[in-house]
Amino acid sequence: MVDVKEATKLATEYFTDLFGDKYSGLTLEEVEISEDEKFWYITIGYNVDKPTISASLPFTRSGREYKSFKIECDTGKVLSMKIRKID
């Protein structure tokens, strides 16, 4: 069975395999195991530059976005990666 440390590593590797070094500041935000203990839900946060247009000139501001991963406990297979909205 995949433990929480391995599930976090798998989620981070999956993210970096897809996006490379496009984003910085990857951090673990949330972990949860399903009630039946078949899946890990891992949330990773990362920095993004968001374009903003002002009256005088365009610029960017930094922000945080999040991805949630569903990982099978028995195999370590990443089953999904979804946008995680934080209010």
- Burial label, 77 (beta-carbon count in 10 A; 0-12, 13-18, 19+): exposed
Question: What is the spatial distance between Cα 70 and Cα 38, in angstroms, rounded to a whole number?
Answer: 10
Query: What average pLDDT score do residues 59-86 get?
Result: 92
Would you state the pLDDT for residue 50?
73
Confidence of residue 34 (pLDDT cuts 50, 70, 90): very high
Q: Which H or E run contains 34?
A: none
Q: Where are the domains of the chain?
A: 4-83
Q: Which of 23-27, 54-58, 64-68 has the lowest mean pLDDT?
A: 54-58
Question: What is the spatial distance between Cα 43 and Cα 40, in angstroms, rounded to a whole number?
Answer: 10
Q: Which H or E run contains 6?
A: helix 4-19
Q: What is the reported pTM?
A: 0.85
